[in-house]
Amino acid sequence: MPIIRVVILQSVLLAFWVIHASWAADGLSPLILLPLHEGRDAYRPAAGAGAGIFLVVWQDLRKGKDYDVYGVRVTPEGTLLDPEGIVVCAEKGNQANPQVTWEGKSFVVV
């Protein structure tokens, strides 16, 4: 089971998340940089791994009212499979503090 750590790095000029993931006991994948889109309020990332990819989820205020949960699939090499993100949950009201895990066949986000 991979060990995943998500760290948020932000500055005035740069905004991105960095993912380190260990697929084996003896090594780390390359740094994976997930850029945050300019002007987008994205917080509380969480990451899971399974079937050879990562799923990173976060709460996002891109619609301007109420947080929704978005996600992006990322390969171990750092390729974003969903560059704009995919909607995980956009129900009425706030959707916040997402968590993600791999249950053996698919990702589960709560």
pLDDT tens, residue by residue, 34-73 = 666 555 678 888 888 888 888 988 898 888 889 999 998 9
Residue 24 is given by DSSP the state B
pLDDT of 12 strictly over 50: no
pLDDT of 30 strictly over 90: no
pLDDT of 83 strictly over 70: yes
Q: What is the pLDDT of residue 47?
A: 84
Q: What is the mean pLDDT of the chain?
A: 77
* Structure token pair of residue 30: 């390359």
| 89 Cβ neighbours under 8 A, 6+ residues apart | 68, 69, 95, 98, 109
Q: What is the pLDDT of residue 108?
A: 97
Q: What is the pLDDT of residue 69?
A: 95
In this structure, the number of other CB atoms found within 10 A of the CB of residue 27 comes to: 7
Question: Of 5 and 56, which is predicted with more confidence?
Answer: 56
**Total-model pTM:** 0.78
Q: What CA–CA distances, in Å, run from 87 to 3, 15, 30, 42, 94? A: 25, 21, 26, 13, 14
